[in-house]
Amino acid sequence: MSTARFDLTGKTAVVTGGAGILGARFCRALAEHGANVAIVDLRASAAEEARKQLIAEGLPGERLHALGCDVSDPASVASMVEATVTRFGGIEVLLNNAASKSDDLEAFFAPFESFSLEEWRKIMSVNIDGMFLVAQAVGRQMLAQDRGGSIVQTASIYGVVAPDPRIYEGSHYLGRQINTPAVYSASKAAVIGLSRYLAAYWGPQGIRVNTLSPGGVESGQNNSFQQRYGARVPLGRMARGHEMLGAVVFLASDASSYFTGQNVVVDGGLSCW
């Protein structure tokens, strides 16, 4: 296959959660393959910092645009799409990647039996409501352009399989005991269902919709967690952030032109046993 099929030159990609652990890497990979990239994050300042970092790494600033957007707010989403189209002339790729980082870790890591409905709704407002709103607004723009497009929505391995509670024994992240709450798994499973629905719904218009489901990525977990998690994975370790990038570029580009409605699981084999 010619590498030209992976070329994104002349295409514009929107990346929500674009200043995050994976989002910033996704922005870099898409830009490296020629795309104009709208780096979208809840905080405009974080998006701008991500943009400056990419420029410092040698990527052309004229192809990078930083935008603040609350994906749970329809007006904010509409403004973000309008600003992207004004800057770059259209949108051909959406990496629908934003997910909530709770500002109340006690509530987020609470046991299921005492998990509050308020916290549940707060996480869902971003993890699935936000997915719906951004996909809706960008999909509407793609339909108006009448030249198809590619939408990639980020889920998680825990939208496919349940977390193993044993790996969390003695495990900490940012200095505190952690778990994976049910709201996270439920929201990520919902992303996979939404993607499949939209793939069937927009397929006749040439808009492809797929899901990327990463396994656990090294991002500050303590050694105990990394060792326990790695013991559950055939490849014997957690993922490194760059190991998601090949799948992202493939799904965004014409290399995957007959690929839609799929959930691409990049998990080191965790879900195969």
Q: Which fold has domain 9-102+122-157+181-217+240-266?
A: Rossmann fold (3.40.50)
Give the pLDDT means over successive 10-residue stretches in the chain (273 positions).
88 98 97 98 98 98 98 98 98 97 89 97 98 98 98 98 90 76 97 98 98 93 88 96 97 98 98 93
Give the Cα separation of 14 and 78 in Å (integer): 13
Q: Is the dihedral of CA 216, 219, 221, 227 positive or negative?
A: positive
Residue 205 CB-half CA count within 13 A? 21
pLDDT computed for residue 173 by the predictor: 67
pLDDT computed for residue 2 by the predictor: 66
Give the Cα separation of 106 and 178 in Å (integer): 10
Q: Are strands 172-173 and 176-177 parallel, antiparallel or unpaired?
A: antiparallel
Annotation marks residue 184 as catalytic: yes
Q: Where are any strands of DSSP class E within the chain?
A: 12-16, 36-41, 64-68, 93-96, 149-154, 172-173, 176-177, 207-214, 263-266
Question: Which member of 158, 168, 173, 184 is catalytic?
Answer: 184
Q: What is the pTM of this model?
A: 0.96
Give the Cα separation of 89 and 36 in Å (integer): 10
pLDDT computed for residue 1 by the predictor: 57
Give the Cα separation of 95 and 203 in Å (integer): 17
Domain boundaries, the chain: 9-102+122-157+181-217+240-266
pLDDT computed for residue 176 by the predictor: 72
- Three-class SS state of 145: helix
